[in-house]
Structure 1
Amino acid sequence: MVRRDLEGLSREELIRRAESAGVVRARALTMAELIDELILDSEKKTGEKRPRGWFGRARDLLTSVIDRGLALPDAPRKRPAPRIGNASPPPLPTVTLAEIYAAQGHIERAITTLDEVLTREPDHEEAAKLRTRFQEQVRKTKPSSRPPPPQTKPLDTPVIPAAPASPNVAVGESVRVGEGVVAAPAKPAAPPPPPAEPQVAEEVVFDADEIVAVAVDPSTVYAYWEVRPRTLASSRARDEHGALVVRVVAVTAAQGGPVTDTRDIRVDALFGELFVRGLPENAQVRLSIGYKTHHGYEPFAVGLDLTTPRALPAAQPARAVRRWSQIRAEATDPAFERPVPPSGPTAGGMIPRVGTGHDMVGDLPAPAWVQ
């Protein structure tokens, strides 16, 4: 099916086709992303490449960079003239981008992104539900409604005592000795003006270098980065023959020791997003954004560590606790002082196996896993 036919389908029909094709979180994707995923699935089955949208071209560009070995190009002989008026376009509004903004604390910015998604696709149920949840969160964090104005207590009517009776007062007049004259009630004081409504401050632009990553599936990580212009300008002033790269480090446990996979993905925009595919499952992953030259790598921001999920459940639970040691004597020398494992089951239900010498590590080369 070509792109023109897919664009004529409704959102629900695209979702059903994407779910049958095995697309992860199909209901959270926009129609443009769904069409790209369906075209990619059709290319894998038929081997025929079809024209794709912005997301498809971005994915092809990222794949070509990885296939070339992630090496920096040769330094140009002459520095090209700076381009003027060619600013990078803002990222397209997606539900994933709104979740990233919310994770950073920019709830208002996430709602604005979801509004743009709903403007393009009014029947996007996941975006509407997420927007309602964010609005409830904003309503709970905002201060409560203004207190009612203070009620003024009515003043008691003052009573002015009458003057003593004089001999000129005739009998039968209304003024009597000993009675008080009631004064006119005083005008009540005007209530104070209500407090002015607090002005909502405009959203403050997050002026910092940052990178945020989220594990999408066992082998894919989504990343979003922002770099301040002055940060990149400062690094280029020191060495102009460099590039802005996203460094991905994945560490997995193996029988012979930890295995580290490092990738450097060149990016040109000061802010953007990308998908890193082909990562090992159940790996500790760390991403950073920085400036790479022939002399080394200078990180601008380092993201939080994350773990890619397992593709399949473990065949059997672990019953022994081991740790990696760089000291061979700790595993082979019985006289070497080592921490004593706790008695009984440890946290998680694992039972440590106690042993010494070659019974514990066999013929493994140094360094080795020890109890």
Structure 2
Amino acid sequence: MPNEKDDPMRLCACDFSQRAHALFSEVVGQGLYRAEKREEPVPITANPEPNEVGEPLPTVTLACIYAAQGQVHQAIEMLHIILKKDPDHLAAQTCLSELKAKQALSSPAPSALRADAYGEEEDRSSRCIAVPVTPTAIFVRWEIAQTTLTLLKGCCPQGTLTLFFLLVIPTWQGSQLYPGKRRLSWTVKGDYLFQQLPQKAIVRVVVGWDYRGSFLSIAHFPLLIRSGEGNPCSRIPSFLHGYTFKQLGKALFGVRRRIGDPLDFKTIEATCNVECRVALLFLFVSKEIKDRMRENQETQYWT
């Protein structure tokens, strides 16, 4: 026969008996059976109101935590509240002085901010623009930043503001160069009209500082290919700006593969596209370009 102590029903009954005895002992011990100890049950609402969280108590420790998190203004306000209640609070006074010192070092003065903004705006205004007005005339307008001009006067007081131009006329006998310059005195902004320019000429206009034979460029305008109406080159006004000799050599190689040697310039002019014509013009009419192509230099035509 099975042991009565191991009977599961008996064990379950003993467990319930022990729990009931413990609960009864707790009720008797706390006196909950008395009428005066009974409390009315709290009604449960469908939407209980959330507990309002008040503002944190201002302390020096909390102010230091705000400062460590980057909230310096909030930390300073909290320290002012502490000192308003207790003016002799030594820890608050020390922390406030340290925060103000760090804030003064990290943020520049308002005058410096205004000067930086003004200087940045002036630096952006340095420019030189050349606009073709007719097939043989170019209108040039320049504007130099006042801060840049002041710096140049301080470094090289004997220099002068100069408008430098370079006229390149490509011919079958070689490129013809016509450099020139015009002193602008101390004029910060102005304009000038270049007239009677030959067609198909390349014009480079630079505004800079001329000092004892050295020229420092301030603002420049890219290359312009001057040509009459109807010429395909007029559609690429700045095609050769920044072009390298290696790229021009590739264009020439493509022309030779299509047409073959010897090169017939009339056939090239009639069959090749605009880029090939410009490449051929600068690769064959200029001796300097030929020499540099033989040396296989990777330099720009204009720097």
TM-score by length of 2: 0.37
Structure ID, larger Rg: 2
TM-score by length of 1: 0.31
More helix by share: 2
